[in-house]
Structures are given as structure tokens and as C-alpha cells.
Amino acid sequence: MNPKSTLPLKTIRDFIRYATTRLYNSEASFSHGYDNPVDEASFLVLRSLNIPLEYEEKFLEAKLTDDEREMILNNISRRCDELEPTAYITKEWWLTGFCFYVDDRALIPRSFIAELIKDHFGHLLKTTPRSILDMCTGSGCLAILLSMEFPGATVDAVDISQGALDVAQINISNYGLDGIVIPIRSDLFENLGSMKYDLIICNPPYVTEESMENLPGEYRHEPSLALAAGSDGMDVIKLLMKHAREHLNDGGLLVVELGDGAEAFKENFPQFPVQWLPCSGGPDQVFAITKESLP
């Protein structure tokens, strides 16, 4: 759109209003953070301008330069026409109050595991872990949250994707955790030798083939490697369950997110005495199991 034709749009308030209307009129879905166009429009406009959200009121009547107007209009078009997630446009997303750099090499942070860290996974962790593995680390968000919760621990952050690990490295450096959170490229445990950990957490790909077909457009901007996991969504989880025990210290704990895969998991592993950890996603999105309970 020619910026001149936007002359009536002058202030940040005008652009938030315009972005809201565009979002309402678009095919955008709201499943990557915000659940409504109004809040997402505010975030998109303010963060495109690098204005902290808490200062919204202060700047609502501020006028934009021509360059800023063009940039915001372009961002609104990316979001509404191309269905690009806002997080990839602003290159940041928040998880349990912490901000992470993100781009389309890594999944947008939204794991339910994050909210279970504070109470140490329903108090199932009996001792403070000294060695932690974040398997399938993506942006490194969970590895970093764990490192901050358990400052004495080393955290290995494993992913098969070099692109994801490059994003994780940006976050590790941003949080000053170089040498503490270690990015490792590996197909699951393949490059980990005989490493053992007190705690292994994993938010693996778990979307079924059928669900992949029907995902909203926003998900097509995320790496399919981060989502797709075969006909029943269990491809990665099956391998994880097979090998996790070898990589856990005695008394160690495995925590896994599997989204809507609880039924498929129970069918595949009826004998596993897992403990479900209720979270905001529901009662059976995340489970924990001790080393001793793993066959």
C-alpha cells in the first residue's frame, strides 16, 4: 500500500485500530500466544516500533514517520495476508515472563513444560538436578528456563536442526549462559555417547500426519521438523522412551510433553506408570516418569 494513501493513519492508536480491523477481516488464527486480534494488534504495532508494552498508554497519540508507517503496514500485511506468526515478524516471544529471540528456524516458544519448572514438576524432583538434558531444544527456551531455576546445573540442549541450534545459541548468549547451556547437534541421543543426566525434559514433535494437513496457515511458517511425527504423532516419542533410561542417573526423572497424544501414548505404552502433570493445556499434555519406572 502506498504510504500516502494511509495519511489518515497517523498515531500509534490509529495503527493499532487498523491492525485490529485487518486481523478481524483476515484468515489469521490465534493459537501462537494471543487469543484475540485486539491484543495481538497492540503487540504487533508496539513491538514493531520497539516500544515496551507497558508504555502503550504513554505513546498512543505519538505520530509515526513515513518509514515507520511503511514498516508497520508491511508487518500487518505479513501477518494478515501471508499469515506469518507475529513472533516471527517481531523476532521475539515470551514464555513464563521471559523473552526469547525467535525466527523461522525454530518453533515459537509455547511449551507447557515451562510452567511446570517452578514447582519442580509437581515436586517429583526429589533433589536438585546437577545435570540436565533438554532434548529437542528448538530455540533453547526450556534449557534456559531450567538453567535459571537450577543455577548449579549444566544443561545440554540437543536438536537435530543446526538452524534451531543457531537460534538457541543467540538466546544462550543473550541470557549470559555460554558454557552452562551447551547446544549439541544430535539425532536424539545419537551423539551423546554414554552421557547421563539427573533430569531429561523433552517437547518433541508430536503432530500426526492427519493434523499436519489441517493446521492453520501460521504453522506452515514453522519448521515441519518441529511439528510432524508420523501417522500417530509418536515417531520421536517412541525412540525417546526406548533410550531415555540409558541416559538417566539413578533417581533421575524424564518429563515429556505430548500435546493431544495421550491416547496414542497409552496405546503404545500401556505398561508405563507415568504421572500426568496438569498444566494450563489440560490434565494429560505432559507426563513424568522416573528412571526406575522405565522398562
Ligand X SMILES: C[S@@+](CC[C@H](N)C(=O)[O-])C[C@H]1O[C@@H](n2cnc3c(N)ncnc32)[C@H](O)[C@@H]1O
Q: Which residue's CB is nearer to ligand X, number 68 or number 104? A: 104
> Which residue has the CB atom at the shortest distance from ligand X?
138
- Position 17: which residue type? R
Binding mask 236-265 for ligand X (x = CB under 6 A): x-----------------------------
Residue among 41, 142, 144, 181 that touches ligand X (CB under 6 A): 142
Residue among 12, 37, 87, 109 that touches ligand X (CB under 6 A): 109
**Total binding residues toward ligand X, as defined by CB under 6 A:** 23
How far is it, in rounded angstroms, from Cα 255 to Cα 288? 4
161 in Cβ contact with 205 (< 8 Å): no
CA distances from 4 to 13, 14, 171, 173, 200 (A): 18, 15, 39, 41, 55
Q: Determine the interface stretch with ligand X among 21-29, 117-125, 139-147, 244-252 (rule: CB under 6 A).
A: 139-147
Q: Determine the interface stretch with ligand X among 39-47, 54-62, 79-87, 137-145 (rule: CB under 6 A).
A: 137-145
Query: What are residue 54's phi and psi, to 5 degrees?
Result: -70, -10
What are the start-end ranges of the H helices in 9-157? 12-25, 37-48, 56-59, 66-80, 86-90, 113-116, 120-123, 141-149
How far is it, in rounded angstroms, from Cα 121 to Cα 289? 11
- Is 188 a residue that touches ligand X (CB under 6 A)? yes
Nearest CA to 289 out of 265, 266, 273 is that of 273
146 in Cβ contact with 180 (< 8 Å): no
- Is 144 a residue that touches ligand X (CB under 6 A)? no
Helix, strand, coil percentages in the chain from 3-state DSSP, rounded to 5:
40, 20, 40
Residue among 75, 86, 90, 161 that touches ligand X (CB under 6 A): 161
- Is 203 a residue that touches ligand X (CB under 6 A)? yes
Q: Which residue's CB is nearer to ligand X, number 127 or number 224? A: 224
Q: How far is the CB of 158 from ligand X (least distance, A)?
A: 6
Q: How far is the CB of 256 from ligand X (least distance, A)?
A: 11
- Bridging pattern class, strands 275-276 and 286-290: antiparallel
Q: How far is the CB of 45 from ligand X (least distance, A)?
A: 25
Helix (H) or strand (E) holding 236: helix 235-243
- Which residues in 34-93 contact ligand X (CB under 6 A)? none
- Is 159 a residue that touches ligand X (CB under 6 A)? yes
Q: Which residue's CB is nearer to ligand X, number 25 or number 96? A: 96
- Bridging pattern class, strands 131-135 and 197-202: parallel
- Is 133 a residue that touches ligand X (CB under 6 A)? no
- Is 139 a residue that touches ligand X (CB under 6 A)? yes
- Please, what is the Cα angle at 114 between 285 and 242, to 5 degrees? 55
- Is 225 a residue that touches ligand X (CB under 6 A)? yes
74: three-class secondary structure by DSSP: helix
Q: Determine the interface stretch with ligand X among 123-131, 174-182, 200-208, 267-275 (rule: CB under 6 A).
A: 200-208
- Is 204 a residue that touches ligand X (CB under 6 A)? yes
Query: What does the binding site for ligand X look like in residue numbers (CB under 6 A)?
Result: 106-107, 109, 111, 136-139, 141-142, 158-161, 164, 187-188, 203-205, 225-226, 236
